[in-house]
Structure 1
Amino acid sequence: MASNFQTDTRQMLGRLRGVMSEDAAGQARLDRITQLIAEEMRTEVCSIYLFRDEDTLELCATEGLNPDAVHQTRMKMGEGLVGRVALSGKLMNTDDAPATKGFRYMPETGEEAYSSFLGVPVQRLGEKLGVLVVQSKEARVFSDEEVYAVEVVAMVIAEMAELGAFVGEGAAMSARHQQPVLFRGGTAQEGAAQGNVWLHEPRVVVTNPFADDPDREMERLSEAVETLRVGVDRMLSTAASGDKEQLQVLEAYRMFANSKGWMKRMEEDIARGLSAEAAVEKEQSAARARMSQVTDAYLRERLNDLDDLSNRLLRILTGQGSVTGAEMPDNPILIARNIGPAELLDYGRSLKGIVLEEGSVGSHAAIVARALAIPLVIHAERITTEALNGDFILVDGDQGVVHLRPDDSVISAFRDKMAMQAQAQERYASIRDKPAETLCGQRMTLMMNAGLMADLPSLESSGAEGVGLFRTELQFLVRSQMPKRAELSNIYARVIEAAKDKRVCFRTLDIGSDKVLPYMRAVDEPNPALGWRAVRVGIDKPGVMRMQLQAFVRAAAGRPLTVMFPFVAQREEFTLARAEMDKALERERILGHPLPERIEVGAMLETPSLAFAPDSFYDEVDFLSIGGNDLKQFFFAADRENELVRRRYDTLNVSFLTFLEQIVARCEAHKTPLSFCGEDAGRPVEAACFAAIGLRVLSMRPASIGPVKSVLRRTNLRELKAVIEEARQTGVMSVRPAVMEYLKEKL
């Protein structure tokens, strides 16, 4: 039966404002809110349930249920009608609660058989805080106006919770943004850092959700929206005319900014008693809630556009979060949902650490973080809603752990760890200029990976003997349009000059999969890592490859040049790519440009298929570099971006080591120079095992060279090889336990 009652939302908000202005403790405020809502809604029961942890709701205030049940009654997410509302993030409105799926009777609350049930989620910008419930004995479906009123009150409760209105003696909630919080994420760049939070997109706090003067609030909203529209139009007018995707995004922005429906809903919210800021945030929360339910990628992008516009509008209204006037703290730790490579490079080396809610180990941000040697933790869920600018924070990139506002004992332990790392770095510095020679007299070559000019000073400070991999895609990823050949040639020339006489191996453009150029149309592929990427793109669209190869030749200016093609899966791909190199050399000769004094053209072995290429391939290629990151994921069929499987398979697995040995043997038979490049090369235990099975050149991030050299100089490879062989003979899955025991005794 439909409700015959009507609720005056403005009147309810007016009374609610009075409750909030009273000088009372947090629990008393919540108690008064439940009384007020029950009176205004003409219901026997009003209850507020709040989350005690991520999965547990607690009855924190009630009018109509047994007061002794407050702080005693708890339920799991999804349990009962209240738990279902919390789980779905959607309201529930029924006139027959006992017959509704999921109903659970709770005798400890003194609950009678209430027929009507209206449950509304208490949430702020997608963050679930609890559930607001009204119940009545009379069987009735609450009207749209009544539902709206309860939704508005739920939103105000969320806003006031953000401001700490419900803390204090007898508090229903703990103080937000004050308690220590531990986040467990994933490691994308190792290292440890301490500092203060710097939010990439500072959260806007609505300090007054109530409208003092609705007419004035309407004016403020109108003025702010006009400012927003002008800003979007300005962005459109300055956007690159050839950048179709950027224009499409901005056109979507303009469509939302001029949306009459969006504006009308916010004006209705103000008319019912909300401030302009609260009206914007109410619509933003609704969009975020819809976004969490949408699986269609296009719709999610559009809702994301609306979310971004709402943030811009809130900043205009409140003046909060603008970059101007905000000063970055000392030792800044960047916190963001996600971030692009160009934005991250704008911050540069001023950052001490980075923590992202999203991201991946192969993302653009991770590539730049590695290049800048900045610790990076990804998948730190909800950190952007919990952290505030200036909060003290510890980032453990080795473990993928973040301590926000840590207590003294955690700080002390963390600083001890950092001190030990600093001492180790001093020890590594003492052997920087010494060779990576093992106890059995085997000379190893340790190279470094790079991708930015900012990496090159590490060539000398780390003790690296050259650059085993220079990633060239970063120069493409951080631009809004394709770089010109002259620009690339100038960059590559500076790299060669900075390396002085040391070898630099340039890897041609490795795009596709997770590395999509912002000015190229993305190809929708079911499995991008196994799709159209790297050398495959270069062969099918040779224009960019030719331009880049010519830039390499001009940068060399008669000096030695080393070029490597990525993701070669069969000999024919290398032959075609090598032919493009020959064409570039011939073109430069005709133009009268000096040719390299010596040129090496190699390939990255990242697919198992290339290990079984014909002998003629091993004779044709000047060198090979094992791309360990990709090779391992394809060997084990385990996506390295998938946290469920990427740690499941060990690099020191007997099968993988045997496979690597086969590659080493083939290269030795054909006198083909071979190196290993990837994260595992920079792990001392793995590096020692690689050396033991015959690999003589390892390329890694600069910070890993010291630890790897230190272990190699104290290891006898013949003894270690015997340990590996003995473990293999016992039928173990991995040789790691045996190797670790040996190294523990020897080091």
Structure 2
Amino acid sequence: MPHRTETDSRRMLRELRDEMASAQPGQERLDRITTIIAKSMGTDVCSIYLLRDPDTLELCATEGLRASAVHETRLRLGEGLVGKVARLARPLKSADAPSEPGFRYMPETGEEVFTSFLGVPVQRLGERLGVLVVQSKETRDYSEDEIYGLEVVAMVIAEMTELGAFVGEGTSFASPHKHATTLRGVTAQEGEAEGHVWLHQPRVVVTNLVNDDSKAEIARLHDAVEKLRGSVDDMLNAARSRDKEHQEVLQTYRMFANSRGWMKRMEEDIRLGLSAEAAVEKEQSIARARLETVPDQYLRDRLHDLDDLSNRLLRILTGQGVETGAEMPDRAILVARNIGPGDLLEYGRKLRGVVLEEGAVGSHATIVARALAIPLVISVPRITTDALSGDHILVDGTEGVIHLRPDDTVTGAFRDKMAMQAKAQERYASLRDKPAMGRCGTQITLKMNAGLMADLPSLPTSGAEAVGLFRTELQFLTRERMPRRSELVATYARVLDAAAGKSVHFRTLDIGSDKVAPYMKRPDEPNPAMGWRALRVGLDKPGVLRMQLQALIRAAAGRPLSVMFPLVATGEEFARARDTLMREIERERRLGHELPEQLKVGAMMETPSLAYAPDSFYREVDFISIGGNDLKQFFFAADRENELVRRRYDTLNVSFLTFLQVIVDRCHETETALSFCGEDAGRPVDALAMAGIGIPALSMRPASIGPVKSLIRRSNLNEVSELIARVQVRGLESARPALLDYVASLVD
């Protein structure tokens, strides 16, 4: 790395620091900054463009261009050289700017006399904030040293923007973290909640941007990095007994922590005048900007590692650790980039809702949020940047919308919506002990899904007649090591105790795809959802499956036991799994252990192939549960994790209903018990259609049982069946419009 003289740069940064500390209005401060930079760099022009919205840059201050253009000249992202710098998030220079491809001449600025151009992005932690530009009349090829120095200045401007230094009279910019913001994400768990933000990892706020003693500041950096390296070594030593993949992640941490290039760049930033914290954050911002443009998942993961390591180093330097001493607010809404199931379980029912910047519909956190029955919205851009702990927040999990620091009008409308839902819930509570029987006399069995002991108290109050699905994988996913058989026995026994005699269908371990335990190696698969997962893992690696079956048998201890195998694709797979279970029953008998009073063995139908299995399968299986989430994605070839396609196909599409009817008819012919399990079972109109085509049992989250039961009791299922048949005969694409009209015609 070439040596850079620090005198001019340090002088400029000190002047910028003094401007930030001054009591001037925001616009005057901006104007003064452009003058300082132009003078220091010996350029005719310095201009600052800031983003008014995600797509529009506005000229906010200038030295050298026409003053009348300030707050009048605007560019779209990618438009002109300035817009190109913002879109690409990297510097751009030219000795002859008008000849550059994409150059846009803005006559109102009077820039036609300026030939050379240098623009650098103003960004903070990957977030675009604007562009810093210098221009000169003479042909000038800006050096790498000058580009680097301007990037350092842009870093300071980014922090000043974040701290609200440019807010005030004349700027027309709202103060950061003060204005109301509406953000859209993806619904992962429905429901609404009002509360206050609780950041899972509080943001590090860098306030000392410029140093007075570069040698002392570099020494601070070295001390902090040594502590960081020590903590990484400690984590690596503690992980010796862990799986290889976990150790590889920590080895990557160690590699970054010992990177000479990383250290040299930060030391150079400090010599040019930045504080140690600002130098770390500058490198972090560059890495995050690069992250947005890297398509390769391996490289993205490594850049995420570097980002996490930078956060750790910032916390060491600033002392702003996770344990800040702040108390979690009442009605806390957790906000995080992402979160593991173990951490989310630790928060438990203290949370009203969860909002994630990343996440996936089928992630561990989603499963836990559903088990805790709290609203969850994922893929919310910028939420960890925009939100501060304590901010008022409204979470609309049904629509996937977040209102941050909402105004009174939005809050009032949201509270009205929640009040209406609370009133409806009171009405549903009155139906708790009544059957889900249509006006035609047909009764539908409503069951609840569960995965944690925390779910089971909902069983008597929800009106559910049984637990149609108990997800056993959560006991594996929320631990740092494989659970012991004795621990599983105790857990399953408590579940049966809490069910108080009501049936519980235990689904055996469903791991793989998006559910991988921390201590298990994730296989490299091009399409994990259709790969080595669920029962396929159990049949290929029978040790864990056998241990789990032994635990279930012992937990039953003379009580009825229902076991269900996930993702059964062929009758032969079910036969192998059932034989494994029967061998364990015989083994337990020989050991003298008490056997289940009654044993029922079922399969989850999550692949279309099983619908056409031989009659022998249907007669051998005691019950079938249609796993609607996976079955629908395989039927329509639409990945439910992919936002581009997951909402494109409707459960009430006539082709899917016709396919479900095939399963209903086969189960009726063979007298096989049948139920439907999944998100769609908890949507009243969808549930009504399933009941109408003859599915006798539905399993859903506890909160959905009341609304579904209410609609079924108001409906005539014979009329629903006839309506769907008419839709099929007419060749319509979906039964939803006709069903919505039918529901609208019902009398309460």
Please give the TM-score of this superposition, normalised by the length of structure 1.
0.98
Matched residue, 1:284: 284
Residues in 1 aligned to 2:425 and 2:314: alpha-carbon distance in whole angstroms: 46
Residues 5 and 624 from structure 1, CA distance in 2 versus in 1: closer, same or farther, beyond 3 angstroms?
Answer: closer
Deviation (angstroms), 1:473: 0.7
Q: CA deviation at 1:398?
A: 0.6
User: Where do 1:227-242 residues align within 5 Å?
Assistant: 227-242=227-242
Between 1:16-25 and 1:555-564, the stretch displaced more is 16-25
User: What do the CA deviations read for 1:541-595 (whole angstroms, capped 9, x no partner)?
Assistant: 1111111111111111121110011111111111111111111111111211111
Q: How far is 1:642 from its partner?
A: 1.2
Q: SS in structure 2 opposite 1:168?
A: coil
* Aligned mates of 1:376, 1:321 — CA distance in 2: 26
Percent identity, aligned pairs only, is 69
Contact 1:180 1:407 in 2 (8 A): yes
**Which amino acid counterpart does residue 547 of structure 2 have in structure 1?**
M
Residues 238-637 of structure 1 aligned to structure 2 (within 5 Å): 238-637=238-637
User: CA 1:6–1:477 in structure 2 vs 1: closer, same or farther (change >3 Å)?
Assistant: closer
Please tell me the root mean square deviation across aligned C-alpha atoms, in Å: 1.5
* CA displacement at 1:240 relative to structure 2: 4.9
Structure 1 residue 421, shift from structure 2 partner = 0.9
Contact 1:7 1:40 in 2 (8 A): no
Instruction: For residue 713 of structure 1, give the secondary structure of its aligned residue in structure 2.
Output: helix
Shift of 1:109: 1.1
Alpha-carbon distance in structure 2 between the residues aligned to 1:164 and 1:740: 50
Deviation (angstroms), 1:172: 5.4
What pairs up with 1:726-737 in 2 under 5 angstroms?
A: 726-737=726-737
What SS class does the counterpart of residue 353 from structure 1 fall into? strand
Structure 1 window deviating more from structure 2 (715-724 vs 553-562): it is 715-724
After superposition, where does 1:634-653 map in structure 2 within 5 Å?
A: 634-653=634-653
Task: Out of 16-25 and 602-611, give the one that drifted further.
Answer: 16-25
Report SS of the residue matched to 1:8: helix
Q: For residues 80 and 321 of structure 2, what CA distance do their matches in structure 1 show? A: 40
Does the aligned pair in 2 maintain the 1:38–1:134 contact within 8 Å?
Answer: yes
SS of corresponding position for 1:325 = coil
Give the match for residue 214 of structure 2. Answer: 214
Residue 62 of structure 2 aligns to a residue whose secondary structure is strand
Aligned to 1:112, what secondary structure does the other structure show?
helix
1:15-34 correspondence to structure 2 within 5 Å: 15-34=15-34
SS at match of 2:580: helix
Deviations 1:637-671 (A, max 9, x none): 11111111111111111111111111101100000
CA displacement, residues 333-383 of structure 1 (integer Å, 9 cap, x when unaligned)? 011111111111111111100011111111111000000001000111111
Q: 1:403-446 deviations in whole A, cap 9, x for unaligned? A: 00000000000001111111111111111111111111112110
6 and 706 in structure 1: CA distance in 2 versus 1, 3 angstrom threshold: closer
Is residue 46–residue 64 contact of structure 1 (8 Å, CA) maintained in 2? yes
| Partner secondary structure for residue 59 of structure 1 | strand
The 1:6–1:506 alpha-carbon spacing in structure 2 relative to 1, beyond 3 Å, is closer
Q: Deviations over 1:107-136 (max 9, x none)?
A: 121111422111100000000000001111
Instruction: Give the residue type in structure 1 aligned to 2:745.
Output: E
| Contact 2:676–2:695 under 8 Å retained in 1 | yes
Indicate conservation of the 8 Å contact 1:243/1:481, yes or no. Answer: no
Q: Check whether the contact 1:26–1:165 (CA below 8 A) recurs between aligned residues.
A: yes
1:5 CA drift (Å):
12
Letter in 1 for 2:179: Q
Matched, 1:147 2:133: no
Structure 1 counterpart SS, 2:714: coil
Runs of 5+ unmatched residues, structure 1: none
Shift, 1:242, TM fit: 3.5
Q: Which moved more, 1:13-22 or 1:231-240?
A: 231-240
Equivalent residue letter for 1:137: K
Asked if structure 2 preserves the Cα contact closer than 8 Å seen for 1:27 and 1:172, the reply is no
Deviation at 1:149, TM superposition (A): 1.6
Counterpart contact for 1:60–1:172, Cα < 8 Å? no
Amino acid at match of 1:611: A
The reply to whether residue 76 of structure 1 matches residue 76 of structure 2 is yes
Cα pair 1:193 1:394 within 8 Å, conserved: yes
Deviation of 1:231 after TM superposition, in Å, equals 2.1
Comparing 150-159 with 729-738, greater Cα deviation is found at 729-738
Q: Distance between the aligned counterparts of 1:670 and 1:466, measured in 2?
A: 23
Query: TM-score, normalised on structure 2?
Result: 0.97
**Gap regions ≥5 residues in structure 2:** none
> d(CA) in 1 for partners of 2:238 and 2:22?
51
Q: Is the 8 A contact 2:6 2:271 kept in 1?
A: no
Kept in 2: contact 1:451–1:474 (CA 8 A): yes
Which stretch of the first structure deviates more once superposed, 309-318 or 383-392? Answer: 309-318
For residue 280 of structure 1, give the secondary structure of its aligned residue in structure 2: helix
Aligned residue identity for 1:648: R
Larger mean CA deviation between 425-434 and 403-412 belongs to 425-434
Indicate if the aligned counterparts of 2:481 and 2:519 stay in contact, CA closer than 8 A.
Answer: yes
Q: Give the 3-state SS of the residue equivalent to 2:732 in structure 1.
A: coil
